[in-house]
Amino acid sequence: MTDWTDPDTFAQALECVETKEKGNCFEDFEEGDVIEHDPGLTLTKFGNEQWMSQTLNHDPAYWRPDVAADRGFDEPPIHPDYLTAATLGITVEDLSEKGGYFLGRTDVRFAKDAVYPGTDMYVESEVVNTASSSSRPQYGIVSWRTRAKDLETDDLLLSYERTNMIPRREPLETDGGSAATEEESDDGSLPETFVTPDGGYFEDFVAALEAAESENAAVAYRHERGRTQDDVTVAQLPLATLNTAKQHHNVDVMADSPSGDIVTYGDVTRSTALGHARSDERTWREVGFDDESFHTFVTPGDTVYAFTRVLEADDEASSDEAGTVRFQHIAFNQDDTPVYSGTRIAEIRKRSN
């Protein structure tokens, strides 16, 4: 009788059987397709606090009822980073579990009203673009518009457009030619002077921008904190958002991948960097993000730091107590290599008169 548990026999059996695969390939996506992502998720206080604590997002309005009330919230709301990560996490099983690279995300916009613990969220995505990759014929490039809604009221909570490289079932026939195109060449030089805002209020950003305007200068600075990636940030946080991407929790498979190891969920990397940045400002509300890119892998043991550039400031905001600032945030590792960049629009508290 065959002993299926004999190691040699079992190895042979593994070679012979089919794998019941998970996820979709590039060929499965067609422009206009709408995908409803089961199972949805209830946004809980525990999930919110676990995400915020592990990514160093300590804004008291998301922790303390008295500060929440002062900021116009009914109670400490769900943090926009957790909402973003949970929304993307739910989509992975249908969109990117096959193992594509997360290339970027843009037009991330939050509803005006805060989202509170206990909200049952459902998420759907529409395929907005499919394209060939000229540099990697074994992949295609897919963009989706994803929307998270309140299951009870159907109110839109968050929307964004995301782009991934997705493995093809059949690689494209190509000559393997390089996709290199001439990029516009700006001279790449940095300004002579870097201005650091004196504080974290709206007026401090305005003053720094004014100071920089008069010379060849930029308002740019780094944040001191770093967060070394461990089992909690790499594997636990994405799993807590139902993110099934093997990149984050299957060391066995990832050992043979370009990173050679499991990698940090992009939303953990960016939220950690944003936590560092927010610790040096008086955030009032998050408005949105654009042009987000993940430049290289973050693996266990890497440390995520943050760098901020202040791009512009506008007196208008949803409340008289705040103004609006546009930032560029760059997350980088212990070797000073950028791992994430994106622009962010946030309302920043004004000094009380």
Ligand X SMILES: C/C(=C\C(=O)SCCNC(=O)CCNC(=O)[C@H](O)C(C)(C)COP(=O)(O)OP(=O)(O)OC[C@H]1O[C@@H](n2cnc3c(N)ncnc32)[C@H](O)[C@@H]1OP(=O)(O)O)C(=O)O
Residue 343 as a binder of ligand X (CB under 6 A): the answer is: no
By CB under 6 A, how many residues form the interface with ligand X?
Answer: 26
- The alpha carbon torsion through 60, 61, 67, 68 (nearest 10 deg) reads -160
Q: Which residues contact 256 (CB under 8 A, 6 or more apart)?
A: none
Minimum CB distance to ligand X, residue 227 (Å): 15
Residue keyed to tokens 């457009």? 161
The smaller minimum CB distance to ligand X, of residues 209 and 245, is found at 245
* Given 104, 167, 275, 342, the residue binding ligand X (CB under 6 A): 104
Cα(43)–Cα(148) distance, rounded to whole angstroms? 12
- Residue 274: other Cβ atoms inside 10 A: 29
* Given 50, 134, 193, 328, the residue binding ligand X (CB under 6 A): 134
What would the x/- binding string for ligand X be over residues 262 to 301, using CB under 6 A? Answer: -x-xx---------------------------xxxx----
The smaller minimum CB distance to ligand X, of residues 172 and 211, is found at 172
CA distances from 241 to 42, 88, 158, 202, 214 (A): 10, 8, 15, 33, 46
The smaller minimum CB distance to ligand X, of residues 41 and 348, is found at 41
In one-letter notation, the amino acid at residue 13 is: A
Which residue of the chain is nearest ligand X when measured via CB? Answer: 104
Kindly write down the DSSP assignment for every residue of 14-77, as one continuous string.
Answer: HHHSPP---S--GGG--TT-EEEEEEEEEE-HHHHHHHHHHTT---GGGT-HHHHHHTT-SSS-
* Given 51, 101, 160, 307, the residue binding ligand X (CB under 6 A): 101
Check if the beta carbon of residue 95 is closer than 8 Å to that of residue 164: yes
Minimum CB distance to ligand X, residue 139 (Å): 7
- The alpha carbon torsion through 168, 170, 172, 176 (nearest 10 deg) reads 90
Q: DSSP class of residue 319?
A: S
The smaller minimum CB distance to ligand X, of residues 57 and 163, is found at 163
The smaller minimum CB distance to ligand X, of residues 136 and 145, is found at 136
Tell me how far apart the 2 most distant CA atoms of the chain are, in Å: 86
Check if the beta carbon of residue 306 is closer than 8 Å to that of residue 273: yes
The smaller minimum CB distance to ligand X, of residues 28 and 203, is found at 28
Minimum CB distance to ligand X, residue 250 (Å): 13
Half-sphere exposure for 169 (CA within 13 Å, toward CB)? 9
Minimum CB distance to ligand X, residue 180 (Å): 8
Residue 87 as a binder of ligand X (CB under 6 A): the answer is: no
The smaller minimum CB distance to ligand X, of residues 44 and 257, is found at 257
Among positions 232-251, residues that touch ligand X (CB under 6 A) are: 243, 245, 247
Among the residue ranges 8-16, 33-41, 111-119, 132-140, the one whose residues contact ligand X (CB under 6 A)? 132-140
Q: Describe the chain by its helix, strand, coil percentages, rounded to 5.
A: 25, 35, 40
Residue 82 as a binder of ligand X (CB under 6 A): the answer is: no
Residue 164 as a binder of ligand X (CB under 6 A): the answer is: yes
Give the footprint of ligand X on this chain (CB under 6 A): 88, 92, 96, 101-104, 133-136, 141, 163-165, 179, 243, 245, 247, 263, 265-266, 294-297
